[in-house]
Amino acid sequence: MSDPVNNDAVTPGERSELQVRRNAMMVRGLARRKAADRWFRWLGFIAVAFSGAMLAFLLVNMTSAGVGGFQRSEVRFAIPLAGAMQIDAERLTQPDPLGGLELAGLPKVVEDAATAGLGSDGLLADGAWREVATTLIEDPSLLNGTLRVSLPASDPLANAQRGDGKVALQPVARKLVSEGKLVRAFDKGFLSRSDATSPQSVGIWGALKGSMLTMFITLILAFPVGVLSALYLEEYAPKNRWTEWIEISINNLAAVPSIIFGLLGLAVFLAIFPNFRSAPLIGGMTLALMTMPVIVISGRNAIKAVPPSIRDAALAIGASKVQVVFHHVLPLALPGILTGTIIGMARALGETAPLLMIGMRAFVASAPSGFTSPSSVLPVQIFLWSDEIDRGFVERTSAAIVVLLVFLLLMNGIAIYLRNRFEQRW
Protein backbone atom coordinates (compact mmCIF):
# COMPACT_ATOMS: atom_id res chain seq x y z
CA MET A 1 0.00 0.00 0.00
CA SER A 2 1.86 3.00 -1.24
CA ASP A 3 0.97 6.47 -0.17
CA PRO A 4 3.78 8.68 -1.46
CA VAL A 5 3.37 12.33 -2.25
CA ASN A 6 3.84 13.06 -5.91
CA ASN A 7 5.47 16.41 -6.25
CA ASP A 8 6.12 16.35 -9.92
CA ALA A 9 2.66 17.42 -11.08
CA VAL A 10 0.04 19.89 -9.98
CA THR A 11 -0.17 21.25 -6.53
CA PRO A 12 -3.18 20.05 -4.63
CA GLY A 13 -6.43 21.92 -5.15
CA GLU A 14 -5.23 23.51 -8.35
CA ARG A 15 -5.88 22.47 -11.86
CA SER A 16 -3.35 21.96 -14.55
CA GLU A 17 -3.00 24.59 -17.24
CA LEU A 18 -4.66 22.32 -19.76
CA GLN A 19 -7.55 21.66 -17.45
CA VAL A 20 -8.15 25.34 -17.00
CA ARG A 21 -7.82 26.07 -20.67
CA ARG A 22 -10.10 23.18 -21.51
CA ASN A 23 -12.77 24.36 -19.13
CA ALA A 24 -12.73 27.80 -20.68
CA MET A 25 -12.97 26.44 -24.21
CA MET A 26 -15.72 24.09 -23.25
CA VAL A 27 -17.86 26.82 -21.84
CA ARG A 28 -17.62 28.66 -25.12
CA GLY A 29 -18.79 25.68 -27.17
CA LEU A 30 -21.38 24.63 -24.70
CA ALA A 31 -24.27 26.82 -25.75
CA ARG A 32 -23.92 25.75 -29.36
CA ARG A 33 -23.74 22.08 -28.44
CA LYS A 34 -26.77 22.40 -26.24
CA ALA A 35 -28.68 24.07 -29.04
CA ALA A 36 -27.68 21.31 -31.45
CA ASP A 37 -28.92 18.77 -28.94
CA ARG A 38 -32.28 20.51 -28.68
CA TRP A 39 -32.55 20.71 -32.44
CA PHE A 40 -31.87 17.08 -32.85
CA ARG A 41 -34.49 16.26 -30.31
CA TRP A 42 -36.96 18.45 -32.15
CA LEU A 43 -36.25 16.71 -35.43
CA GLY A 44 -37.02 13.41 -33.79
CA PHE A 45 -40.16 14.78 -32.34
CA ILE A 46 -41.24 16.15 -35.70
CA ALA A 47 -40.65 12.77 -37.32
CA VAL A 48 -42.85 11.06 -34.76
CA ALA A 49 -45.44 13.80 -34.94
CA PHE A 50 -45.53 13.53 -38.72
CA SER A 51 -46.26 9.83 -38.56
CA GLY A 52 -48.92 10.46 -35.97
CA ALA A 53 -50.43 13.22 -38.06
CA MET A 54 -50.53 11.00 -41.14
CA LEU A 55 -52.30 8.32 -39.16
CA ALA A 56 -54.76 10.81 -37.79
CA PHE A 57 -55.32 12.32 -41.22
CA LEU A 58 -55.92 8.91 -42.75
CA LEU A 59 -58.29 7.82 -40.03
CA VAL A 60 -60.23 11.07 -39.95
CA ASN A 61 -60.37 11.18 -43.72
CA MET A 62 -61.71 7.64 -43.97
CA THR A 63 -64.12 7.96 -41.09
CA SER A 64 -65.61 11.23 -42.20
CA ALA A 65 -66.06 9.89 -45.71
CA GLY A 66 -67.25 6.58 -44.34
CA VAL A 67 -69.99 8.03 -42.18
CA GLY A 68 -71.98 8.77 -45.32
CA GLY A 69 -71.49 5.19 -46.40
CA PHE A 70 -73.46 3.91 -43.47
CA GLN A 71 -76.41 5.93 -44.73
CA ARG A 72 -78.58 5.71 -47.76
CA SER A 73 -80.95 8.10 -49.51
CA GLU A 74 -84.52 7.38 -48.66
CA VAL A 75 -87.72 8.78 -50.08
CA ARG A 76 -90.72 9.29 -47.84
CA PHE A 77 -94.25 9.01 -48.95
CA ALA A 78 -97.57 7.46 -47.99
CA ILE A 79 -99.02 4.28 -49.48
CA PRO A 80 -102.78 4.06 -49.35
CA LEU A 81 -103.10 0.32 -48.85
CA ALA A 82 -106.74 0.01 -47.89
CA GLY A 83 -108.46 -1.72 -50.76
CA ALA A 84 -105.49 -1.34 -53.06
CA MET A 85 -104.88 -5.09 -53.32
CA GLN A 86 -106.95 -8.24 -53.50
CA ILE A 87 -105.39 -9.92 -50.50
CA ASP A 88 -106.46 -10.45 -46.91
CA ALA A 89 -104.44 -10.52 -43.76
CA GLU A 90 -105.01 -14.27 -43.54
CA ARG A 91 -102.85 -14.92 -46.60
CA LEU A 92 -99.87 -13.23 -44.96
CA THR A 93 -99.68 -15.90 -42.28
CA GLN A 94 -99.53 -18.69 -44.83
CA PRO A 95 -96.37 -19.92 -46.58
CA ASP A 96 -94.66 -17.62 -49.08
CA PRO A 97 -96.44 -14.44 -48.08
CA LEU A 98 -93.98 -12.48 -50.20
CA GLY A 99 -95.09 -14.29 -53.33
CA GLY A 100 -98.68 -13.65 -52.34
CA LEU A 101 -98.10 -9.94 -52.06
CA GLU A 102 -96.22 -9.81 -55.33
CA LEU A 103 -99.04 -11.65 -57.02
CA ALA A 104 -101.50 -9.27 -55.49
CA GLY A 105 -99.65 -6.40 -57.13
CA LEU A 106 -97.82 -4.82 -54.25
CA PRO A 107 -94.87 -3.74 -56.45
CA LYS A 108 -97.14 -1.70 -58.60
CA VAL A 109 -99.06 -0.26 -55.66
CA VAL A 110 -95.81 0.89 -54.08
CA GLU A 111 -94.49 2.29 -57.33
CA ASP A 112 -97.71 4.18 -58.02
CA ALA A 113 -97.74 5.57 -54.53
CA ALA A 114 -94.15 6.71 -54.98
CA THR A 115 -94.92 8.38 -58.28
CA ALA A 116 -97.90 10.08 -56.75
CA GLY A 117 -96.14 11.08 -53.58
CA LEU A 118 -92.89 12.24 -55.15
CA GLY A 119 -94.24 13.72 -58.29
CA SER A 120 -92.34 11.64 -60.81
CA ASP A 121 -91.46 8.01 -61.45
CA GLY A 122 -88.11 6.30 -61.39
CA LEU A 123 -87.23 7.78 -58.02
CA LEU A 124 -87.70 4.62 -56.01
CA ALA A 125 -85.09 1.87 -55.95
CA ASP A 126 -85.95 -1.37 -57.71
CA GLY A 127 -87.28 -3.93 -55.31
CA ALA A 128 -88.08 -1.40 -52.62
CA TRP A 129 -91.53 -2.96 -52.36
CA ARG A 130 -89.93 -5.90 -50.60
CA GLU A 131 -89.29 -3.72 -47.56
CA VAL A 132 -92.96 -2.76 -47.56
CA ALA A 133 -93.88 -6.42 -47.86
CA THR A 134 -91.73 -7.30 -44.87
CA THR A 135 -93.43 -4.63 -42.80
CA LEU A 136 -96.82 -5.95 -43.83
CA ILE A 137 -95.95 -9.55 -43.03
CA GLU A 138 -94.86 -8.48 -39.57
CA ASP A 139 -98.07 -6.59 -39.00
CA PRO A 140 -100.84 -7.71 -41.42
CA SER A 141 -103.28 -5.25 -39.85
CA LEU A 142 -101.52 -2.45 -41.73
CA LEU A 143 -103.20 -3.72 -44.89
CA ASN A 144 -106.25 -1.73 -43.99
CA GLY A 145 -104.74 1.68 -43.64
CA THR A 146 -102.35 4.12 -45.17
CA LEU A 147 -98.72 3.31 -44.57
CA ARG A 148 -96.13 6.04 -44.28
CA VAL A 149 -92.86 4.63 -45.53
CA SER A 150 -89.24 5.60 -45.91
CA LEU A 151 -87.81 3.55 -48.76
CA PRO A 152 -84.49 3.55 -50.60
CA ALA A 153 -84.25 6.05 -53.42
CA SER A 154 -83.13 4.98 -56.86
CA ASP A 155 -79.44 5.28 -57.62
CA PRO A 156 -79.77 8.26 -59.94
CA LEU A 157 -81.81 10.14 -57.34
CA ALA A 158 -79.35 9.23 -54.62
CA ASN A 159 -76.52 10.51 -56.80
CA ALA A 160 -78.44 13.65 -57.61
CA GLN A 161 -78.93 14.30 -53.92
CA ARG A 162 -75.16 14.37 -53.57
CA GLY A 163 -74.87 16.63 -56.59
CA ASP A 164 -73.52 13.90 -58.86
CA GLY A 165 -74.83 12.02 -61.82
CA LYS A 166 -77.60 13.13 -64.13
CA VAL A 167 -77.82 16.88 -64.27
CA ALA A 168 -81.54 16.89 -64.92
CA LEU A 169 -82.30 15.09 -61.69
CA GLN A 170 -80.45 17.47 -59.44
CA PRO A 171 -83.17 20.14 -59.19
CA VAL A 172 -85.71 17.38 -58.51
CA ALA A 173 -83.56 16.10 -55.72
CA ARG A 174 -83.14 19.55 -54.25
CA LYS A 175 -86.86 20.08 -54.31
CA LEU A 176 -87.58 16.75 -52.62
CA VAL A 177 -84.99 17.46 -49.98
CA SER A 178 -86.49 20.84 -49.21
CA GLU A 179 -89.89 19.20 -48.89
CA GLY A 180 -88.47 16.65 -46.50
CA LYS A 181 -89.35 13.81 -48.84
CA LEU A 182 -85.74 12.87 -49.59
CA VAL A 183 -83.46 12.23 -46.64
CA ARG A 184 -80.25 10.47 -45.75
CA ALA A 185 -80.95 7.83 -43.14
CA PHE A 186 -78.86 5.28 -41.31
CA ASP A 187 -78.79 2.09 -43.34
CA LYS A 188 -78.78 -0.74 -40.86
CA GLY A 189 -78.86 -3.24 -43.67
CA PHE A 190 -75.32 -2.26 -44.68
CA LEU A 191 -73.93 -4.59 -42.08
CA SER A 192 -76.22 -7.48 -42.92
CA ARG A 193 -76.46 -7.51 -46.71
CA SER A 194 -73.98 -8.64 -49.32
CA ASP A 195 -72.62 -7.24 -52.52
CA ALA A 196 -75.07 -5.84 -55.05
CA THR A 197 -75.14 -3.84 -58.23
CA SER A 198 -76.68 -0.73 -56.80
CA PRO A 199 -74.81 1.26 -54.17
CA GLN A 200 -78.13 1.85 -52.47
CA SER A 201 -78.51 -1.84 -51.72
CA VAL A 202 -74.99 -3.11 -51.13
CA GLY A 203 -73.88 -4.54 -47.83
CA ILE A 204 -70.69 -5.68 -46.24
CA TRP A 205 -71.76 -8.85 -44.48
CA GLY A 206 -70.90 -11.23 -47.33
CA ALA A 207 -67.34 -9.95 -47.55
CA LEU A 208 -67.01 -9.82 -43.80
CA LYS A 209 -68.12 -13.40 -43.42
CA GLY A 210 -65.80 -14.36 -46.27
CA SER A 211 -62.95 -12.68 -44.40
CA MET A 212 -63.79 -14.53 -41.22
CA LEU A 213 -63.92 -17.90 -42.95
CA THR A 214 -60.67 -17.17 -44.74
CA MET A 215 -59.01 -16.07 -41.53
CA PHE A 216 -60.18 -19.21 -39.79
CA ILE A 217 -58.48 -21.40 -42.39
CA THR A 218 -55.37 -19.24 -42.23
CA LEU A 219 -55.27 -19.52 -38.47
CA ILE A 220 -55.74 -23.27 -38.19
CA LEU A 221 -53.09 -23.89 -40.82
CA ALA A 222 -50.53 -21.23 -40.01
CA PHE A 223 -50.65 -21.31 -36.23
CA PRO A 224 -49.76 -24.95 -35.55
CA VAL A 225 -47.27 -25.16 -38.38
CA GLY A 226 -45.72 -21.86 -37.37
CA VAL A 227 -45.44 -22.72 -33.69
CA LEU A 228 -44.08 -26.19 -34.35
CA SER A 229 -41.50 -24.85 -36.81
CA ALA A 230 -40.47 -22.19 -34.35
CA LEU A 231 -40.03 -24.83 -31.68
CA TYR A 232 -38.04 -27.00 -34.03
CA LEU A 233 -35.73 -24.22 -35.10
CA GLU A 234 -35.15 -22.83 -31.62
CA GLU A 235 -35.06 -25.98 -29.55
CA TYR A 236 -34.10 -28.85 -31.77
CA ALA A 237 -32.49 -27.85 -35.00
CA PRO A 238 -28.85 -28.83 -35.20
CA LYS A 239 -26.72 -26.18 -36.85
CA ASN A 240 -26.23 -27.65 -40.27
CA ARG A 241 -26.85 -26.78 -43.87
CA TRP A 242 -30.37 -28.17 -43.84
CA THR A 243 -31.60 -26.14 -40.95
CA GLU A 244 -29.84 -23.14 -42.35
CA TRP A 245 -31.88 -23.57 -45.52
CA ILE A 246 -35.03 -23.78 -43.46
CA GLU A 247 -34.09 -20.61 -41.64
CA ILE A 248 -33.21 -18.76 -44.79
CA SER A 249 -36.42 -19.73 -46.49
CA ILE A 250 -38.52 -18.72 -43.52
CA ASN A 251 -36.85 -15.36 -43.22
CA ASN A 252 -37.19 -14.80 -46.92
CA LEU A 253 -40.80 -15.89 -47.05
CA ALA A 254 -41.58 -13.26 -44.45
CA ALA A 255 -40.44 -10.64 -46.93
CA VAL A 256 -41.51 -12.11 -50.26
CA PRO A 257 -44.02 -9.74 -51.88
CA SER A 258 -47.53 -10.89 -51.22
CA ILE A 259 -48.43 -10.93 -54.88
CA ILE A 260 -45.93 -13.74 -55.39
CA PHE A 261 -47.94 -15.83 -52.97
CA GLY A 262 -50.90 -15.08 -55.19
CA LEU A 263 -49.01 -16.51 -58.15
CA LEU A 264 -48.23 -19.56 -56.05
CA GLY A 265 -51.87 -20.01 -55.09
CA LEU A 266 -52.85 -19.64 -58.72
CA ALA A 267 -50.31 -22.12 -60.01
CA VAL A 268 -50.41 -24.70 -57.22
CA PHE A 269 -53.54 -24.59 -55.09
CA LEU A 270 -55.92 -23.83 -57.93
CA ALA A 271 -54.28 -26.52 -60.02
CA ILE A 272 -54.89 -29.07 -57.27
CA PHE A 273 -58.34 -27.83 -56.25
CA PRO A 274 -59.87 -26.23 -59.33
CA ASN A 275 -63.31 -26.70 -57.79
CA PHE A 276 -62.60 -24.24 -55.06
CA ARG A 277 -61.79 -21.13 -57.05
CA SER A 278 -62.78 -18.02 -55.07
CA ALA A 279 -63.34 -20.13 -51.99
CA PRO A 280 -62.16 -19.11 -48.51
CA LEU A 281 -60.41 -22.46 -48.35
CA ILE A 282 -57.94 -21.54 -51.09
CA GLY A 283 -57.68 -17.95 -49.94
CA GLY A 284 -56.98 -19.16 -46.42
CA MET A 285 -54.33 -21.60 -47.61
CA THR A 286 -52.57 -18.91 -49.62
CA LEU A 287 -52.65 -16.44 -46.77
CA ALA A 288 -51.52 -19.16 -44.36
CA LEU A 289 -48.30 -19.52 -46.30
CA MET A 290 -47.80 -15.77 -45.92
CA THR A 291 -48.67 -15.69 -42.26
CA MET A 292 -46.72 -18.76 -41.21
CA PRO A 293 -43.28 -17.14 -41.47
CA VAL A 294 -44.50 -14.18 -39.42
CA ILE A 295 -45.63 -16.57 -36.70
CA VAL A 296 -42.39 -18.52 -36.90
CA ILE A 297 -40.27 -15.41 -36.53
CA SER A 298 -42.23 -13.92 -33.66
CA GLY A 299 -42.48 -17.38 -32.13
CA ARG A 300 -38.75 -17.82 -32.28
CA ASN A 301 -38.20 -14.48 -30.63
CA ALA A 302 -40.65 -15.36 -27.89
CA ILE A 303 -39.00 -18.73 -27.38
CA LYS A 304 -35.57 -17.14 -27.37
CA ALA A 305 -36.75 -14.78 -24.67
CA VAL A 306 -37.46 -17.68 -22.32
CA PRO A 307 -34.34 -17.66 -20.19
CA PRO A 308 -32.03 -20.64 -20.64
CA SER A 309 -31.93 -20.96 -16.87
CA ILE A 310 -35.47 -22.35 -16.96
CA ARG A 311 -34.43 -24.98 -19.46
CA ASP A 312 -31.36 -25.81 -17.40
CA ALA A 313 -33.46 -26.11 -14.30
CA ALA A 314 -35.84 -28.55 -15.89
CA LEU A 315 -33.11 -30.55 -17.61
CA ALA A 316 -31.17 -30.82 -14.39
CA ILE A 317 -33.97 -32.56 -12.58
CA GLY A 318 -34.23 -35.02 -15.39
CA ALA A 319 -36.91 -33.59 -17.63
CA SER A 320 -36.64 -34.81 -21.18
CA LYS A 321 -36.37 -32.43 -24.09
CA VAL A 322 -40.04 -32.73 -24.97
CA GLN A 323 -41.01 -32.15 -21.37
CA VAL A 324 -38.82 -29.09 -21.18
CA VAL A 325 -40.33 -27.71 -24.33
CA PHE A 326 -43.97 -28.43 -23.67
CA HIS A 327 -44.03 -27.98 -19.90
CA HIS A 328 -41.90 -24.87 -19.64
CA VAL A 329 -40.81 -23.17 -22.82
CA LEU A 330 -44.04 -23.17 -24.75
CA PRO A 331 -46.30 -21.92 -21.94
CA LEU A 332 -43.88 -19.09 -21.20
CA ALA A 333 -43.50 -18.15 -24.85
CA LEU A 334 -47.19 -18.36 -25.59
CA PRO A 335 -48.12 -14.71 -24.99
CA GLY A 336 -45.34 -13.63 -27.34
CA ILE A 337 -46.38 -16.17 -29.92
CA LEU A 338 -49.99 -15.06 -29.68
CA THR A 339 -49.00 -11.45 -30.13
CA GLY A 340 -47.09 -12.30 -33.26
CA THR A 341 -49.93 -14.43 -34.50
CA ILE A 342 -52.47 -11.68 -34.08
CA ILE A 343 -50.24 -9.23 -35.91
CA GLY A 344 -49.71 -11.74 -38.70
CA MET A 345 -53.43 -12.40 -38.89
CA ALA A 346 -54.16 -8.69 -39.00
CA ARG A 347 -51.83 -8.40 -41.93
CA ALA A 348 -53.52 -11.32 -43.65
CA LEU A 349 -56.91 -9.77 -43.01
CA GLY A 350 -55.86 -6.65 -44.88
CA GLU A 351 -54.21 -8.51 -47.74
CA THR A 352 -55.59 -7.97 -51.23
CA ALA A 353 -53.13 -8.61 -54.01
CA PRO A 354 -52.69 -12.38 -53.65
CA LEU A 355 -56.43 -12.90 -53.43
CA LEU A 356 -56.94 -11.06 -56.69
CA MET A 357 -54.84 -13.75 -58.31
CA ILE A 358 -56.93 -16.64 -57.05
CA GLY A 359 -60.36 -15.52 -58.06
CA MET A 360 -61.56 -13.84 -54.91
CA ARG A 361 -62.50 -10.75 -56.82
CA ALA A 362 -65.81 -12.30 -57.75
CA PHE A 363 -69.23 -10.76 -57.44
CA VAL A 364 -70.95 -12.83 -54.79
CA ALA A 365 -74.40 -11.59 -53.99
CA SER A 366 -74.98 -13.81 -50.99
CA ALA A 367 -72.90 -14.45 -47.93
CA PRO A 368 -70.76 -17.57 -48.35
CA SER A 369 -72.25 -20.65 -46.74
CA GLY A 370 -69.01 -22.44 -46.01
CA PHE A 371 -65.31 -22.78 -46.62
CA THR A 372 -65.76 -24.02 -50.14
CA SER A 373 -68.42 -21.67 -51.41
CA PRO A 374 -67.29 -18.71 -53.48
CA SER A 375 -66.82 -15.57 -51.54
CA SER A 376 -65.11 -12.24 -51.37
CA VAL A 377 -63.18 -10.71 -48.51
CA LEU A 378 -63.26 -7.22 -47.06
CA PRO A 379 -60.16 -5.74 -48.67
CA VAL A 380 -61.01 -7.15 -52.07
CA GLN A 381 -64.53 -5.83 -51.71
CA ILE A 382 -63.03 -2.43 -51.04
CA PHE A 383 -60.88 -2.73 -54.11
CA LEU A 384 -63.84 -3.79 -56.25
CA TRP A 385 -66.04 -1.01 -55.00
CA SER A 386 -63.32 1.56 -55.50
CA ASP A 387 -63.47 0.65 -59.17
CA GLU A 388 -67.24 0.88 -59.53
CA ILE A 389 -68.76 3.25 -62.00
CA ASP A 390 -71.59 4.51 -59.84
CA ARG A 391 -70.45 7.40 -57.69
CA GLY A 392 -72.59 6.17 -54.85
CA PHE A 393 -69.90 3.58 -54.26
CA VAL A 394 -67.36 6.17 -53.16
CA GLU A 395 -68.97 6.55 -49.75
CA ARG A 396 -69.71 2.86 -49.49
CA THR A 397 -66.06 2.11 -50.10
CA SER A 398 -65.04 4.38 -47.28
CA ALA A 399 -67.61 2.77 -45.03
CA ALA A 400 -66.22 -0.66 -45.86
CA ILE A 401 -62.76 0.69 -45.07
CA VAL A 402 -64.03 1.87 -41.72
CA VAL A 403 -65.37 -1.60 -40.98
CA LEU A 404 -62.05 -3.16 -41.96
CA LEU A 405 -60.07 -0.64 -39.93
CA VAL A 406 -62.22 -1.26 -36.88
CA PHE A 407 -61.34 -4.94 -37.04
CA LEU A 408 -57.67 -4.24 -37.59
CA LEU A 409 -57.45 -1.70 -34.80
CA LEU A 410 -59.17 -4.18 -32.56
CA MET A 411 -56.70 -6.92 -33.43
CA ASN A 412 -53.72 -4.63 -33.06
CA GLY A 413 -55.13 -3.41 -29.79
CA ILE A 414 -55.43 -6.93 -28.46
CA ALA A 415 -51.89 -7.69 -29.56
CA ILE A 416 -50.53 -4.61 -27.85
CA TYR A 417 -52.52 -5.36 -24.73
CA LEU A 418 -51.24 -8.92 -24.66
CA ARG A 419 -47.70 -7.78 -25.09
CA ASN A 420 -47.90 -5.21 -22.33
CA ARG A 421 -49.76 -7.56 -20.04
CA PHE A 422 -47.38 -10.45 -20.36
CA GLU A 423 -44.17 -8.62 -21.06
CA GLN A 424 -41.65 -10.37 -18.86
CA ARG A 425 -38.29 -9.20 -17.78
CA TRP A 426 -36.21 -12.11 -16.63
Partner 1 sequence: MNAEAIHTEVKAETTPYFDAPLKMSAKNVSVYYGDKRAIDDVSIDIPQRYVTAFIGPSGCGKSTFLRSLNRMNDTIANARVEGEITLDGDDIYRSGMDVVQLRARVGMVFQKPNPFPKSIYENIAYGPRIHGITGSKAELDEIVEQSLRRAGLWDEVKDRLADSGTALSGGQQQRLCIARAIAVDPEVILMDEPCSALDPIATARIEELIDDLRSRYAIVIVTHSMQQAARVSQRTAFFHLGKVVEYGKTSDIFTNPREERTKDYITGRYG
Partner 2 sequence: MSPAILLLLAFGLSLLGWLAARSRAWAFRRKDPQVRLHSLPNFHGWYVALWVGVPALLFAALWAAISPALITGHVLADPASAVLPNFGFERETLLAEARSVATGRAFGVFNEEAQALVAPYRTAITLFDSIGLVVTILVAFAGGAFAFLRLKPDFTARTRVERAVMALLLIASLVAILTTIGIIASLVFETIRFFGMVSPLDFLFGTHWSPDPMSAGAPDGSEYGAIPLFWGTIYIGAIIAMIVAIPLGLMSAIFLTQYASNTVRKVVKPLLEVLAGVPTVVYGYFAALTVAPMVRDAAHAIGITNASTESAMAAGLVMGVMIIPFVSSMADDSIAAVPQAMRDGSLAMGATTAETIRKVIVPAALPGIVAGVMLAISRAIGETMIVVMAAGASANLTGNPFESMTTVTFQIVAMLTGEGSFDHPATLSAFALGMVLFLVTLTLNFIALRVVKRYREAYE
Partner 3 sequence: GCGSQEAGTRDQVRAVGSSTVYPFAKAVAESLAKADPSIKSPIIESTGTGAGMKLFCAGVGAQFPDIANASRRMKKSEFADCQKSGVKDIVEIQVGLDGVAFAEAQNGPGFALSPEDVYKALAKTPYGKPQTAKTWKDVNPSLPAEPILVYGPPSTSGTRDALKELILTKGCDENAEMKALKDGDKDRHDKVCGDVRDDGAYVDAGENDNLIVQKIEANPKAIGIFGFSYLEENEGRIKGLTMKGVTPTYATISDFSYPGARPLYIYVKKAHLKAIPGLAGFVTEWSKLWSKDGVLAKLGMVVAPDDVLAASAKAVNDLPVLDGAELK
CB nearer partner 2, residue 150 or residue 251? 251
Phi, psi of 399 (to 5 degrees): -65, -40
**Greatest alpha-carbon span in the chain:** 124
> Considering the rule CB under 8 A, would residue 6 count as an interface residue with partner 1?
yes
Question: Would the CA dihedral through 381, 383, 384, 386 be positive or negative?
Answer: positive
The neighbour count for residue 83, using CB atoms within 10 Å, is 8
Q: Which value, to the nearest 10 degrees, does the dihedral of the CA atoms of residues 336, 342, 346, 349 take? A: 140
Cα 413–chain centre separation: 13
Span of 27-35, 113-121, 183-191, 365-373 interacting with partner 3 by CB under 8 A? 365-373
Whether 294 contacts 347, CB under 8 Å: yes
Span of 10-18, 77-85, 157-165, 205-213 interacting with partner 1 by CB under 8 A? 10-18
Of residues 177, 183, 353, 414, which one binds partner 2 by CB under 8 A? 353
As measured in angstroms, the least distance from the Cβ of 181 to partner 2 is 31
Span of 233-241, 341-349, 354-362, 405-413 interacting with partner 3 by CB under 8 A? 354-362
- Rounded CA-CA distance 226/249 in Å is 13
Total site size for partner 1, rule CB under 8 A: 45
> Considering the rule CB under 8 A, would residue 347 count as an interface residue with partner 3?
no
Site for partner 3 in 275-314 (CB under 8 A): 275, 277-278
Whether 79 contacts 110, CB under 8 Å: yes
CA gyration radius for the chain?
33
> Considering the rule CB under 8 A, would residue 331 count as an interface residue with partner 2?
no
Phi, psi of 299 (to 5 degrees): -60, -45
Site for partner 3 in 206-225 (CB under 8 A): none
- Rounded CA-CA distance 418/228 in Å is 21
* Bridge partners, 78 (sequence order): 148
Which of partner 1, partner 2, partner 3, none does residue 9 bind (CB under 5 to 8 Å by kind)? Answer: partner 1
∠ CA 167-385-343, nearest 5°, is: 145
Which of partner 1, partner 3, partner 2, none does residue 25 bind (CB under 5 to 8 Å by kind)? Answer: partner 1
Of residues 137, 319, 356, 405, which one binds partner 1 by CB under 8 A? 319
> Considering the rule CB under 8 A, would residue 57 count as an interface residue with partner 3?
no
User: Footprint of partner 3 on this chain (CB under 8 A)?
Assistant: 126-127, 163-167, 170, 196-197, 272-275, 277-278, 359, 361-366, 373-374, 384, 386-391
Residues that bind partner 1 in the complex, under the rule CB under 8 A: 1-6, 8-10, 12-13, 15-16, 18-19, 21-23, 25-30, 33-34, 238-239, 307, 309-320, 323, 327-328, 332
